[in-house]
């Protein structure tokens, strides 16, 4: 079931049991920014992400699509979900796929799908929304770096963000003392500036 469906079921359950006391985990600092009506949904999502996929694989096209849909829905009200989703999507995008395993898609295919689904803008928006949070900023930067690595389409899409891209770069400067932000920011800038080889081109 989708995160929205899980949220609706959790909401219905709460309405049927108004006398219930505080939910277990409501005081968890990882959930401190989550609205009460989304607590169960976010908690379940975090458990799923940390458990990983069956077999420990990085996921493929289907998983990436679902993670991005979930990211668009949930990132506005959970910092921890934002960080964890950025992590699994970045891992999926950069994973080595021997023989292009069935259904997994190549890295280039995954990057293009991410761009077509509006993923670049969504990640930039999430970063800007949490620009004072170094951990979330670093996670978003690592994901953007994974998207842009060797992909002229993704790189152009990020450059097309205009003012948002400038704000992103200023945010990297703002968090320069943070090692994770500095490393992720440098990696992203490197991918944005690196020439990408193409047929007949000199690099």
User: pLDDT tens, 16-69?
Assistant: 333 434 444 456 888 999 999 999 999 999 999 999 998 888 999 999 999 999
* Cα gap 153→45, rounded to integer Å: 30
**What does the pLDDT read at residue 34?**
94
pLDDT value for 1: 52
| Helix pair 79-94, 61-74: axis angle to 10 deg | 160
Per-residue model confidence (pLDDT) at position 49: 95
pLDDT surpassing 70 at residue 169 = yes
pLDDT of amino acid 200: 45
* Confidence at residue 54, expressed as pLDDT on a 0 to 100 scale: 87
Question: What share of the chain in percent tops pLDDT 70?
Answer: 78
For residues 93 and 151, the answer to whether their CB atoms sit within 8 Å is: no
Domain boundaries, the chain: 3-8+31-193
**Which pLDDT does position 193 carry in this prediction?**
87
pLDDT tens-place string over residues 172-195? 999 989 999 999 999 999 998 876
Cα–Cα dist 174/166, whole Å: 12
Confidence of residue 98 (pLDDT cuts 50, 70, 90): low
Within 8 A by CB and 6+ apart from 144, the residues are 120, 123, 124, 127, 158, 188
pLDDT at 22: 44
């Amino acid at each position: 079931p989708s995160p929205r469906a899980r949220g609706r079921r959790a909401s219905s359950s709460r309405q049927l049991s108004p006398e219930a006391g505080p939910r277990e985990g409501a005081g968890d600092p990882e959930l401190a920014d989550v609205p009460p009506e989304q607590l169960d949904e976010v908690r379940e999502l975090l458990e799923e992400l940390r458990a990983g996929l069956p077999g420990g694989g990085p996921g493929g096209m289907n998983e990436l699509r679902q993670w991005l849909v979930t990211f668009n829905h949930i990132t506005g009200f959970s910092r921890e979900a934002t960080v964890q989703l950025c992590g699994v999507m970045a891992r999926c995008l950069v994973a080595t796929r021997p023989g292009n395993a069935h259904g997994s898609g190549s890295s280039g295919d995954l990057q293009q799908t991410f761009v077509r689904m509006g993923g670049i803008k969504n990640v930039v928006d999430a970063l800007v929304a949490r620009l004072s949070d170094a951990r979330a900023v670093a996670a978003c930067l690592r994901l953007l770096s994974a998207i842009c690595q060797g992909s002229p389409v993704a790189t152009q899409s990020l450059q097309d963000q205009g003012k948002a891209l400038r704000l992103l770069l200023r945010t990297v400067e703002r968090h320069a003392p943070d090692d994770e932000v500095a490393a992720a920011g440098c990696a992203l800038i490197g991918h944005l500036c690196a020439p990408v080889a193409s047929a007949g081109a000199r690099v």
